[in-house]
Amino acid sequence: MSPWHGTTIIGVKKAGKTVIAGDGQVSMGNTVMKPNARKVRRLGAKDENGEGKVIAGFAGATADAFTLFERLEKKLEQYSGQLLRAAVELAKDWRTDKYLRNLEALMIVADKDTLLVLTGNGDVLEPEGGPESQITAIGSGGNYALAAARGIDDYEEDAERIARRAMAVAADICVFTNDRVTVETI
């Protein structure tokens, strides 16, 4: 296991809007190495505003995550922007490729229709819930963020507000999570 530890990434899909938010803290042991890393990005083909049609956030080793972002982007090109197909193919490669198998990261990826968690075990997981509301979270503060988001999901309609509030709760509890949040919305 890498000494690089922790982060919090949350994905919220609600009322036709999907949000991925992540904190900016990079820690090594008990030391904050960088407080403002950007762990949430846009990928894939561009929309009419020139932005990627897929959003992705990672928890884990940074170099490993960048490798996975690049691989996912190639899979999106190969499969004409079909996120689910690209994610399944990436997960297959991640599990079977000797080099990729050693990568230490988790990812949340989303497009306008789909919200998924990708793991190095070859898992492509769709969060529970239906088209009206889905929430998932990863990283050392992921369970705190997930619990907070689920706690307000019935009372809040805005996906971004849910994600931001959940990140604030995680930052208050998890020492490996800070309040410098990056948010991407589709």
CATH architecture of 4-185: 4-Layer Sandwich (3.60)
Q: Could you tell me the pLDDT band of residue 99, with boundaries at 50, 70 and 90? A: low
The string of pLDDT tens digits covering residues 109-158 is 999 999 999 987 778 999 988 777 999 999 999 999 999 999 999 999 99
Task: Compute the distance between CA of residue 65 and CA of residue 58 in angstroms, rounded to an integer.
Answer: 6
**Is residue 110 classed exposed, middle or buried when 0-12, 13-18 and 19+ CB atoms within 10 A define those classes?**
buried
Residue with the two structure tokens 């990056």: 182
Mean pLDDT over each residue of the chain, to the nearest integer: 89
At position 171, the amino acid (one-letter code) is A
Q: Where are the domains of the chain?
A: 4-185
Planar angle of CA 69, 75, 79, nearest 5 degrees:
145
pLDDT > 80? residue 175: yes
| DSSP bridge pairs for 4 | 28
CA distances 81 to 33, 96, 134, 138, 171, Å, are 35, 23, 21, 24, 33
The string of pLDDT tens digits covering residues 108-120 is 999 999 999 998 7
Q: Could you tell me the pLDDT band of residue 3, with boundaries at 50, 70 and 90? A: very low
pTM of the model: 0.92
Least trusted range by pLDDT, from 22-31, 72-81, 174-183: 22-31
Q: Which residues belong to the active site? A: 7
CA distances 114 to 6, 73, 98, Å, are 25, 16, 29
